[in-house]
Amino acid sequence: MTQAQAKHLKDYQAPAYTISHIDLNFDLKGNETTVVATSKVQRVGQHTENLILVGEQINLQSVLINGDKAQYQEANNELVIQTNLDDFELTLVTLQDPEANSSLEGLYMSDGAYCTQCEAEGFRRITYFLDRPDVLAIYTVRVEADKTAFPFLLSNGNLVEKGETTAGRHYVRWEDPFPKPSYLFALVAGDFDLLEDKFVTRSGREVKLQVFVDKGNLHKANHAMVSLQKSMAWDENRFDLEYDLDIYMIVAVDFFNMGAMENKGLNVFNTKYVLADTASATDEDYHGIESVVGHEYFHNWTGNRVTCRDWFQLSLKEGLTVFRDQEFSSDLGSRAVNRIQAIRVMKNQQFAEDAGPMSHPIRPESVIEMNNFYTVTVYNKGAEVIRMMHTILGEKNFQLGMKCYFERHDGQAVTCDDFVNAMESASGIDLGLFRNWYSQAGTPVVSVTDSFDADKKQYQLTVKQSVQSQGEKGKLLHIPFSVELLDAEGQSINNQVLAVKQTEQTFTFDGIESMPVPSLLQDFSAPVRLDYEFNVDQLVHLTRFATSEVARWEASVGLFSQAVWQNVESLSAKESMHLDPRVIEAVRGVILDENIDKALVAEILAFPTAAALIEQVDTVNLDALQAAREFVVDELAEACLDELVTRYRSLITEDNPAARAFKNICLVLLSRVSSEYEQLVTEQYKAAANMTDSLAALKAAVSGQLSCKDALMQDFEQKWLSTPLVMDKWFSLQASQNTPEVLEVIKSLTKHESFSFNNPNRVRSLIGFFVAANTYQFHEANGSGYEYLTDILIKLNELNPQTAARMITPLIQFSKFDLERQQKMKQCLLRLKGLPNLSKDLFEKVEKALA
């Protein structure tokens, strides 16, 4: 076993040395690539400690101090240098082979282009360094490479010099005037198509905008460019933040572990979040691009100008930046639909993480592999915590808090506490109790009971809060709890955010004429589980009358879920299944409602997935759940058949994302009910003018296992064989099939000409999709899904540990399943644990799961 030492937040110590400048010289030459790093190092304070730099897989050629050979030791991923100088120049020469680097961290090759990924701790794979975010240096970078193969040589900041060297080689020099931590360093060298445009900031500065894409993809770069321009304008208007360099570059690469990376002035993106045209990308892809382009751009202030003191503070930049990108999407598109999607991530993924072995507070206290903490907790729950502050303070005070934050901390590496302090000082609102959200793991439960007193015309809500983490009682929290009261006619009679700050609190509403229907935790005003026993009539009332569209969706989820769980009970009591006509009528009402946003209807008709339903309970009988869920969907689709067909036909003529979403969910539902509608599917596939519609037809064919399925899948495959991002959609459809053969299909597809284990997008679309989204088949009782995932993880453990560790999630979240399945999952984890070369990434998760 490698050294898998946990680091703790409580052990944080400021660095003993700092580095004010670093000059990097990259001589890119395949497996003879050299990097010369010249750093200006300063001792911090008075001490006699050695300078300790960190590095991983470094092939060190020489070490000089002020030009002379230095005394050093190299061991355990550290370079220890003894010196009594307080201020000196350190020169390190390293030799690299980027082509052999399959981990996609540090300097690697993506499809013939050199590129880097340094967050979180990848810079240490380039050179020994003080690779920690509280060391901020000014970077100057020289890059030299073959001119024909690598016409573009890019790094952070401004291009200050370029020229030719010997034998067909050229070089450039870049200077980034803003001091930055090493994780924001980037270099790209390759041949690309370039889309150029500009943005004039509100103070009149002209910024050059560049989007670099693989040759032949220029026509797919436009949406990313427009999204960037919209992001820049939005950040000025909503957050009063202006861009600070004269150039902003985005490079799209095929081989990338995550979505994108906010390197200063030189974002590196997964092609998935750049390339789009209507023929090859869905409406959902377009939305994803806009939101990720926004996210990375917004990091320029929340992440780059003000960065994290240490990696435990990751949510300082990520929670805040996710909040900002969510607001961006909501201001530009449908606020309700964006909110629904964010709530789904919280309830389906984050709650599961927080109930499993990887549960951690948004500010983790102990970390073995930092890459394992780029989680839905740090990102999405982190964004919910920021959103709660926004709810408590209001937009005006929140923006004053942001202003204060930048006035105090621009150019610094700071903590989550610093952020909350700024919000508190600027608003004058006490956030004392609120701070516990940063240190408390687990999902709080808010239990509500209510009563009505007709004589006093009083309605009372009694609200209790509790949170458990690892079996222990957690801290008291400040929970903004948004409530609307509706009268019997559906009129809103009260709408406010209650401040829940005690273990138990009663809120009294006066002047209430009759028992109201409460809409509770509106818009998911806090990341908690709500425990209140709604009856069917209340939920129906809310789906019709709640002021908030999100609350209407929530109520529909409640209706559907109750119907499923009642049928699960019926099954275990050996009774026949049944669906309450009131649920059918509510759904019919939504389908027929001409006034409701079509995108919202589509969200409602998507119905909770099996994974979402499992999240609602402590233990699950998967076979009963499957039978009950599929029964309820079929009953609803059959009962609303005429309405679905009618709406489908009328929506065909509408050409916008919301109408397409509604139309396509109708098609999927119809294709479940009867092969009678197969013709609609094939017609739509043939007539489709865009990827949204053709993919939806294909999805209907696959999920309904229609007889046209194979022919359509083949047609699609032939058409898109040389477009990897579209083949990813095809791989996911293959992996989505709820049939016993699906695992064999997946196994054979790993040999498909478009598939490669080296490319994370391919691995995620085929195998990642199967394990995360094909709940019934992945959890097949014989354990074959678990065994297969384990085989794949063993392979990826060496190839790309970061991607391996992200895919293990469904295997460690086993606590809700029956003992036989749990046993089988644990056996797989033991198999992983026994690997002689288990990566830190997998080790951390396997250990926790087996503890």
117 binds, among Zn ion, ligand TRP, none (CB under 5 to 8 A by kind): ligand TRP
257 binds, among ligand TRP, Zn ion, none (CB under 5 to 8 A by kind): ligand TRP
Cβ–Cβ contacts within 10 Å for residue 456, how many?
12
Q: Which amino acid is at 515?
A: M
374 binds, among ligand TRP, Zn ion, none (CB under 5 to 8 A by kind): ligand TRP
| Alpha-carbon gap, residue 825 to 19, rounded angstroms | 47
Closest to ligand TRP by CB, 120 vs 337, is: 120
Closest to ligand TRP by CB, 120 vs 414, is: 120
Q: Which amino acid is at 115?
A: C
Closest to ligand TRP by CB, 291 vs 734, is: 291
Give the nearest distance from C-beta 315 to Zn ion in angstroms.
10
353 binds, among Zn ion, ligand TRP, none (CB under 5 to 8 A by kind): none
Closest to ligand TRP by CB, 304 vs 427, is: 304
Contact range with ligand TRP by CB under 6 A, out of 135-143, 254-262, 454-462, 828-836: 254-262
Residue nearest to ligand TRP (CB): 258
Task: Read off φ and ψ for residue 121, nearest 5 degrees.
Answer: -130, 45
| Alpha-carbon gap, residue 637 to 442, rounded angstroms | 37
Closest to Zn ion by CB, 322 vs 555, is: 322
Q: Does 302 bind ligand TRP (CB under 6 A)?
A: no
Binding mask 424-453 for Zn ion (x = CB under 5 A): ------------------------------
693: left (phi over 0), alpha (psi -120 to 50) or beta: alpha
Q: Which neighbouring-strand residues pair with 94?
A: 35, 60
Residues 100-119 that bind ligand TRP (CB under 6 A): 117, 119
User: How many residues form the binding site for ligand TRP (CB under 6 A)?
Assistant: 14
Give the nearest distance from C-beta 270 to Zn ion in angstroms.
13
Give the nearest distance from C-beta 116 to ligand TRP in angstroms.
11
Closest to ligand TRP by CB, 151 vs 259, is: 259
**By the 8 A CB rule, do 431 and 419 touch?**
no
260 binds, among Zn ion, ligand TRP, none (CB under 5 to 8 A by kind): ligand TRP
Give the nearest distance from C-beta 304 to Zn ion in angstroms.
11
Q: Does 262 bind ligand TRP (CB under 6 A)?
A: yes
Closest to Zn ion by CB, 318 vs 424, is: 318
As given in the structure block, the two tokens for residue 218 are 């220029």
* Interface pick for ligand TRP out of 188, 260, 483, 696 (rule CB under 6 A): 260
Closest to ligand TRP by CB, 378 vs 681, is: 378
The b-or-e profile of 814-830 (16+ CB within 10 A means b, else e) is bebbeeebeebbbebbe
Contact range with ligand TRP by CB under 6 A, out of 252-260, 504-512, 766-774, 808-816: 252-260
| Alpha-carbon gap, residue 484 to 582, rounded angstroms | 23
Give the nearest distance from C-beta 118 to ligand TRP in angstroms.
8
| Alpha-carbon gap, residue 204 to 119, rounded angstroms | 33
User: 422-429: long-range contacts (C-beta < 8 A, 24 or more apart)?
Assistant: 423/389, 423/393, 423/397, 423/398, 425/401, 426/397, 426/400, 426/401, 427/393, 427/397, 427/398, 427/400, 427/401, 429/392, 429/393, 429/397
| Alpha-carbon gap, residue 599 to 586, rounded angstroms | 17
Q: Does 257 bind ligand TRP (CB under 6 A)?
A: yes
Q: Does 120 bind ligand TRP (CB under 6 A)?
A: yes
Give the nearest distance from C-beta 120 to Zn ion in angstroms.
11
Closest to Zn ion by CB, 310 vs 780, is: 310
| Helix or strand (DSSP H, E) at 548 | none
Contact range with ligand TRP by CB under 6 A, out of 20-28, 255-263, 421-429, 627-635: 255-263
Residues 297-336 that bind Zn ion (CB under 5 A): 318, 321
Give the nearest distance from C-beta 257 to ligand TRP in angstroms.
5
Cβ–Cβ contacts within 10 Å for residue 211, how many?
30
* Interface pick for ligand TRP out of 221, 258, 306, 766 (rule CB under 6 A): 258
**By the 8 A CB rule, do 794 and 832 touch?**
yes
Q: Which residues of 424-559 form beta strands (DSSP E)? A: 445-453, 458-466, 468-469, 472-473, 479-486, 492-500, 504-510, 517-520, 529-531
3-class secondary structure, 252: strand
Task: Give CA separation, 385 vs 368, 434, 483, in Å.
Answer: 24, 9, 19
Task: Give CA separation, 388 vs 215, 303, 523, in Å.
Answer: 44, 20, 11
Closest to ligand TRP by CB, 268 vs 605, is: 268
Closest to ligand TRP by CB, 123 vs 607, is: 123
> What burial class does residue 668 get, using C-beta atoms within 10 Å of its C-beta: 0-12 exposed, 13-18 middle, 19+ buried?
buried
Q: Is residue 296 annotated as part of the catalytic site, yes or no?
A: yes
Inter-axis angle of helices 784-799 and 742-749, nearest 10? 20
Q: Does 374 bind ligand TRP (CB under 6 A)?
A: yes
| Alpha-carbon gap, residue 318 to 316, rounded angstroms | 6
Give the nearest distance from C-beta 134 to ligand TRP in angstroms.
17
Task: Read off φ and ψ for residue 111, nearest 5 degrees.
Answer: 50, 50
Give the nearest distance from C-beta 232 to Zn ion in angstroms.
17
| Alpha-carbon gap, residue 817 to 622, rounded angstroms | 8
Write down the residue that tokens 């980037």 correspond to. Answer: 186
| Alpha-carbon gap, residue 529 to 532, rounded angstroms | 10
**By the 8 A CB rule, do 720 and 694 touch?**
no
| Alpha-carbon gap, residue 69 to 813, rounded angstroms | 52
By C-alpha distance, which of 362, 330, 359 is closest to 343?
330
36 binds, among Zn ion, ligand TRP, none (CB under 5 to 8 A by kind): none
3-state secondary structure 212-231: EECCCCHHHCHHHHHHHHHH
* Interface pick for ligand TRP out of 224, 261, 583, 735 (rule CB under 6 A): 261
| Alpha-carbon gap, residue 212 to 229, rounded angstroms | 16
Q: Does 318 bind ligand TRP (CB under 6 A)?
A: yes
Q: Does 184 bind ligand TRP (CB under 6 A)?
A: no
Chain-centroid distance, C-alpha 450: 37
Closest to Zn ion by CB, 223 vs 324, is: 324
Binding mask 686-725 for ligand TRP (x = CB under 6 A): ----------------------------------------
Q: Which neighbouring-strand residues pair with 281?
A: none
Q: Considering 262, 296, 353, 384, which one is annotated as catalytic? A: 296
Give the nearest distance from C-beta 267 to ligand TRP in angstroms.
9
371 binds, among ligand TRP, Zn ion, none (CB under 5 to 8 A by kind): ligand TRP
Closest to ligand TRP by CB, 117 vs 754, is: 117
Name the residues that contact Zn ion, by CB under 5 A: 318, 321
Site for ligand TRP, rule CB under 6 A = 117, 119-120, 257-262, 295-296, 318, 371, 374
List residues with catalytic annotation: 296
